[in-house]
Amino acid sequence: MTNITPEEVKQRLDAGEKLNLVDVREPHENAEFNIGGRLVPIGKIQSMQIEEIEDLKNEEVIFYCRSGNRSGISAAVLDQLGFTNTKNLAGGMLAWQEKFKQ
């Protein structure tokens, strides 16, 4: 797992790049604000219920949460399960909203 900044992700999204974004927050957090990722709460990842993202095992996957903690844990768990290119959105949605005032 490596970290990626909100600026890097936003620049790539603005350029039209299709990114594999995974939101590991809870549904109510996702409903409040999100950047378009698939919702797979950390509890599912920790209990290895990852069927919905299994197809991304060999692709770049960017995980995000509120602050970057849960997404970092999720990326580390998936690294152990054989995912080859996980990235953690540094600072999570708090940093995103601060930088882009959303």
Has this prediction a pTM greater than 0.85?
yes
pLDDT of residue 102: 64
What burial class does residue 36 get, using C-beta atoms within 10 Å of its C-beta: 0-12 exposed, 13-18 middle, 19+ buried?
A: exposed
Annotation says 65 is catalytic: yes
Each residue's pLDDT tens digit, 19-50 = 999 999 999 999 999 999 999 999 999 999 99
Ordered domains of the chain (ranges, CATH): 2-100 (3.40.250.10)
Q: Beta strands of 1-102 (E only): which ranges?
A: 2-4, 21-23, 38-39, 60-64, 85-89
Q: Among the options 65, 89, 90, 93, which is catalytic?
A: 65
Task: Kindly report the backbone phi and psi dihedral angles of residue 20, in degrees, each rounded to the nearest multiple of 5, phi listed first.
Answer: -90, 95
Quickly state the pLDDT bin for 101 (edges 50, 70, 90): confident
As a whole number of angstroms, the longest Cα–Cα distance in the chain is 36
Each residue's pLDDT tens digit, 4-17 = 999 999 999 999 99
Each residue's pLDDT tens digit, 62-99 = 999 999 999 999 999 999 999 999 999 999 999 999 99
